[in-house]
Amino acid sequence: MRSAGLTRRQVLLTGALAIVATDARAHNGTIHVTVEKMAFTPSQVTTRPGDTIEWTNKDRVAHTATVAGGWEVMIPAGKVGSRVVEATDQGDYYCRLHPNMKGSIIVSA
């Protein structure tokens, strides 16, 4: 007969899901986004003004993080691009070179 407690597998799975569910915030105020397989991961980040978003491109082609009518960060193949977040940066962005790649930024106070 099994006990009513959680199995080791359930505990590990719960922990893994908790890690995946957290936002991309690092302790140093830098949000890390991976660009790989033609996608931004995580596709949505929560940040504050003054934090830095850093996109690491693991693809073999260049990408951008572009806000229509706003700013653009070039992310060369195998390199990193970054931007210091401003209060007005909240919203969607995309890759100008590959418009199917999309992400969003939530700026909290």
- Chain segment 25-63, per-residue pLDDT in tens: 445 799 999 999 999 999 999 999 999 999 999 999 999
Residue 82's beta-bridge partner residues?
54
- Chain segment 53-76, per-residue pLDDT in tens: 999 999 999 999 999 999 999 999
C-beta of residue 103 within 8 angstroms of C-beta of residue 44: yes
* Maximum separation of any 2 CA atoms in the chain, in Å: 63
Model confidence at 23, pLDDT cuts 50, 70, 90, reads very low
C-beta of residue 109 within 8 angstroms of C-beta of residue 48: yes
Q: Is CATH 2.60.40.420 the classification given to domain 24-107?
A: yes
How far apart CA 41 and CA 31 sit, in angstroms, is 11
C-beta of residue 75 within 8 angstroms of C-beta of residue 105: no
